[in-house]
Amino acid sequence: MTKELESLLGKFGQDAQVIEDSVLIGCSDQHEAWFALDLGLNSSSSMYASIPKPEMETELRGSFVELRKALFKLNSMDSSLLFTAQALLRWHDNHQFCSRSGQPTKKNMAGSKRVCPSNKIIYYPQMAPVVIILVSDGSRCLLARQSSFPKGLYSALAGFCDIGECIEDAIRREVAEEVGLELESLQYSASQHWPFPNSSLMIACHATVKPGHTEIQVNLRELEAAAWFSHDEVVTALRGEGPYIQQQNKTSPFSLPPKLAIAHQLIKEWVEKQACSSLPA
């Protein structure tokens, strides 16, 4: 595979030495190592900017897709590899110099760390802890949107953990800050690495509000909108047949995060729990 990559780079006048910039992102069941290399085709300042994208697509018999759009096309294994590659390559690009000495750092062969040759400080890739919470009042779930979301898209509440906070405190603070609600109970669901906007560890939980305290006070500095949604509304949206909702004097189709996002998993778990609770004893 290295020979094939060297040949490909040679066709576009690139030095095969750049292969050393690749990072290890996993291995197959047959113990074949998988590496990722950023050709920087979207960056005008990159050393690879001279590589014409259409010609590269023809050579690879494929097409380049924006990372977020790839969420709708990839399975869980491929998306995990892609997210790992993107996060590691971006981290290396942003940590080429030692913060203490100012000297260039060097990547190890696998790309799992960088070392400053002058003072031997080792830098490791990091992830920021983020809590993501689906709040329920028993029969409805609370979903919100930011102005940067696609039109009509609503998701679970989320926010970064502050220094010194435990997960529980971060969840209660985020919910109180964004929608003015006080939580009664919390339940952990799962976690997921997420590369947007930078590498984050998404810690997903379910939460319930205290009975009779369901009035939302949307923090417009954090959110564009937030609302309670019924079981039927959410089920319809999961099927891709969401109803139209009012948004800034316009109507947009109500939609939910893609299946690979952990917010989708939280919403699906809530729907299944609601269905079970409605069954006769």
Per mean pLDDT, which range of 32-41, 108-117, 147-156 is the poorest?
32-41
- Chain segment 206-225, per-residue pLDDT in tens: 999 987 899 999 999 999 99
Per-residue confidence band for 247, with pLDDT thresholds at 50, 70 and 90 = low
> Over the chain, what HEC string results?
CHHHHHHHHHHCCCCHHHHHHCEEEEECCCCCEEEECCCCCCCCCCCCCCCCHHHHHHHHCCCCCCHHHHCCCCCHHHHHHHHHHHHHHHHHHHCCECCCCCCECEECCCCCCEECCCCCCEECCCCEEEEEEEEECCCEEEEEECCCCCCCECECEEEECCCCCCHHHHHHHHHHHHHCCCEEEEEEEEEEEECCCCCEEEEEEEEEECCCCCCCCCCCCCCCEEEEEEHHHHHHHHCCCCCEEEECCEEEECECCCCCCHHHHHHHHHHHHHHHHCCCC
Question: Where exactly does CATH 3.90.79.10 map onto the chain?
Answer: 128-277
Position 253 scores a pLDDT of 80
Give me the CATH topology for the region 128-277: Nucleoside Triphosphate Pyrophosphohydrolase (3.90.79)
Position 2 scores a pLDDT of 76
